[in-house]
Amino acid sequence: MPCVRTPRFLQGLCLCAPFLLQAAGHPSLPTINVRDFGATGDGETDDRAALQRAFHAAAGRCLLFPPGEYRISGYVELLASGSCLLGGPGVVIRNTTPLLGVPKDGFRIGNPSPRDGGAGKGIAHSDIYISGFHFTGTRMGIWIVYSRRVTVENISTDGYAAVAAGNDTDDDCEDIIFRNITRTGPSPADWYTAAVFKTRRFLIDGVLSPYPNGNSMHVAAANSEDGLISNVIAHGDSRARGSGIELIDSRAVTVTAFQIRNVKKGVVAYCGRPYCTGPGRRLESHHVIGPGSVRDSTDAIFLYTAKNLVTGVLTTGNQTSLRFGADARDNLISGCYFQERAVAPKEAISRNSLTPIPGAASVR
């Protein structure tokens, strides 16, 4: 049976590092203004060089963005630990130069390449706070690599992805917080709204993604562990494509307070790596999924992995309430209301534990 435990992220990070209290406006943290470095925010001038100068000067400071549209011809890179970027209502970052039809990034936090001034493998940047930006025309609004203790909140996008941490090649991020992330329009391609890759200890809280994003997922955690994903609203445009929340090759992630509808898969836990398949190689994920709801989709909950807890999930109007992969076993399904009464394949039921709600249209 699943081993349910409080994620170490919640035990150790506490979501309130002293630096973050300073970054939110503590008088001991000096402030500087991007206008002092030549940024105009007039919607016409390329402000990339000016913003890069300001980012270089941001260590130990809060960098303020007055309202305006800051046009950039490429990503702006922040390598300064102990810094914060503060936008607010009316602050827009617009990328203007698509590369082979795909826009570039907005803000990049950290640099994995020593040739470009980065530190290479290993975490080199820490204690960074970013809040209050709308990204348009960007591939990723904010991309974090090789960093720890980074909080990003109050971010929106009408482009591809809003926020991401990690690059799926090295163990490069720790203690990442994404909060209040909003998609304001459909993704022009198959891109997520918020995701972490190769990240240890993370929080993704408050994602509003009510627009379709093609065949991609709205929220994802890949090759990551000890995280919490909560308060997610994700809507697709077809039960034939896309997914709400995907846990890919990850361990010990809690997913709660979600509302997902009109996608192919609601919440998915799977392992696609070779080391996860074959006899004796079943991945024990130890995820906790629920409470939450999935409506009008193909598969509401899809478990490919072993030893997960699904609890308090409401499913209505789906083709399948719960689907198991071939290696899914020792999963505990408890306190759920499955209106469709559809669990597949039936032979997988004996490998898992399903506890119905007395008197309700529950699992079968």
Q: Using CA atoms, how far apart are residues 259 and 268, in angstroms rounded to an integer?
A: 14
Instruction: Give backbone dihedrals phi and psi of 265, rounded to 5 degrees, phi first.
Output: -130, 130
Q: Using CA atoms, how far apart are residues 169 and 198, in angstroms rounded to an integer?
A: 7
The single-letter DSSP state of residue 99 is B
State the average pLDDT over residues 1-14.
45
pTM confidence score: 0.89
Contact in structure between 351 and 330 (CB atoms under 8 Å) = yes
Task: Indicate the pLDDT class of residue 359, thresholds 50, 70 and 90.
Answer: very low
Read off the pLDDT of residues 272-314 as tens digits, 9 standing for 90 and up: 654 455 554 557 899 999 999 999 999 999 999 889 999 999 9
DSSP 3-state assignment of 54?
Answer: helix
Residues forming a β-bridge with 133: 155
Q: Where are the alpha helices (DSSP H) in the chain?
A: 8-12, 18-23, 48-56
Terminal-to-terminal C-alpha distance of the chain: 19
CA angle 160, 162, 163 (to 5 degrees): 125
DSSP 3-state assignment of 22?
Answer: helix
Q: Using CA atoms, how far apart are residues 363 and 200, in angstroms rounded to an integer?
A: 34
More confident residue, 233 or 125: 233
Tokens coding 261:
């509808």
- The segment with the largest mean pLDDT, out of 97-106, 165-174, 338-347, is 338-347
